[in-house]
Amino acid sequence: MNVYTGKILGSLLGFLTLGVIGGLVGFFVGHLFDSGLVRAIRMTGPDGLHALQQEFFDTTFVMLGYIAKADGRVSESEIAQAEAMFSQLRLTPLQRASAIKRFKRGAESDFDPSAELLRFRRTASLRPQTSQTLMLFLVGMALADGRLDTAERNALARVAKTLGISDAALQRIISMVAAQANFGDQRQHQRQQYQPQRSQLADAYKALGVSADVDDRELKKAYRRLMSENHPDKLSARGVPKEMVDLATERSQNITTAYDLIKESRGLR
């Protein structure tokens, strides 16, 4: 299929039904079709994926700076979170310099995120789940100091709205990320030695995005869905840069720990 298919078919069909005027209208409609077709072909190919990976990288770090500064200052814990991310990503010196530059830009008091987010949304339009993955990174930054104040919540809401993510979906992401953070390596050893507390079980259900009264079948489906969403191949297909895939998949370990805790409490194998 070439880039003139829409114009040819549109003109022909328009001419056969409405004559010359119909042909002109059909040509215009076909042009719109061809433009979208060419873009779709480009964005689903290797070049499109590479462009999305670069856009994801650039947008992540500038928006991390924006979220970190949302409450008026970039806290030490947020700086530590960013530094830890730089280390975990094993960035090249050039990538690290770019990430720091964009983080600082996002943290400027007069920074307006709208243009960055709209460009990202256009680039990721054929992979809508990529926007949700970006939100997971940003929520993690906002929660780096262990709390989410009103300014940070409002900043996340602005980002989510621009990306087309509903407030209900954002709240679910916040709840899940906050709960998943409680199942890191520092707590795993503790859980192996002590009986799970009620609050830990509550966090485990939140980490999986389900209620405590969910049946075993739906519990397993929720777990498998989250594990699939955080699978390296799925993340790469969404345009997450390879440097960031390992960081994102660490969430899978916390999800599994939460799921194991719930299974143990229910006597499941």
Domain-ending residue, one of 25, 44, 63: 44
Residues 90 and 123 in one domain: yes
Question: Is pLDDT at 89 greater than 80 in this prediction?
Answer: no
Residues 108 and 155 in one domain: yes
Residues 24 and 50 in one domain: no
Q: Averaged over 174-180, what is the pLDDT?
A: 88
DSSP letter (8 states) at residue 194: S
C-alpha distances in Å from residue 221, one per residue of 25, 55, 209, 226, 248? 49, 32, 11, 9, 21
At 30 the pLDDT is 52
Q: Averaged over 5-33, what is the pLDDT?
A: 50
Domain range for 80 is 46-165
State how far the Cα of 180 lies from the Cα of 225, in Å rounded to an integer: 15
What digits encode the pLDDT tens for the residues 238-260? Answer: 767 776 777 666 778 888 888 99
Biggest distance spanned by C-alpha atoms of the chain: 81
Average pLDDT over the chain, rounded to whole? 76
Q: Quick check: is 140 in a domain?
A: yes
Q: Averaged over 88-102, what is the pLDDT?
A: 84
Q: Averaged over 221-240, what is the pLDDT?
A: 82
Residues 241 and 148 in one domain: no
Q: Quick check: is 172 in a domain?
A: no
Q: Quick check: is 173 in a domain?
A: no
Domain-ending residue, one of 165, 195, 229: 165
Residues 53 and 139 in one domain: yes
Question: Is pLDDT at 135 greater than 60 in this prediction?
Answer: yes
At 195 the pLDDT is 46
Q: Averaged over 200-229, what is the pLDDT?
A: 90
C-alpha distances in Å from residue 45, one per residue of 50, 98, 117? 9, 26, 22
Asked which of 10-14, 68-72, 251-255 is least confident by mean pLDDT, the reply is 10-14
Q: Quick check: is 175 in a domain?
A: no
Question: Is pLDDT at 200 greater than 80 in this prediction?
Answer: yes
* Contact present, 231 and 163 (Cβ < 8 Å): no
Angle at 168 between CA 165 and CA 170, to 5 degrees: 55
> Count of domains in the chain?
3
Q: Averaged over 205-224, what is the pLDDT?
A: 92
At 156 the pLDDT is 94
Q: Quick check: is 19 in a domain?
A: yes
Q: Quick check: is 176 in a domain?
A: no
Residues 37 and 62 in one domain: no
Residues 106 and 152 in one domain: yes
Q: Quick check: is 174 in a domain?
A: no
Predicted TM-score (pTM) of the model is 0.68
Q: Quick check: is 107 in a domain?
A: yes
At 113 the pLDDT is 93
Question: Is pLDDT at 56 greater than 80 in this prediction?
Answer: yes
Residues 65 and 144 in one domain: yes
Domain-ending residue, one of 133, 165, 197: 165
Residues 137 and 37 in one domain: no
Provide, for the chain, the percentages of residues in helix, strand and coil under a 3-state DSSP scheme, each rounded to the nearest 5: 80, 0, 20
Q: Which residue has the tokens 């094993």?
A: 90
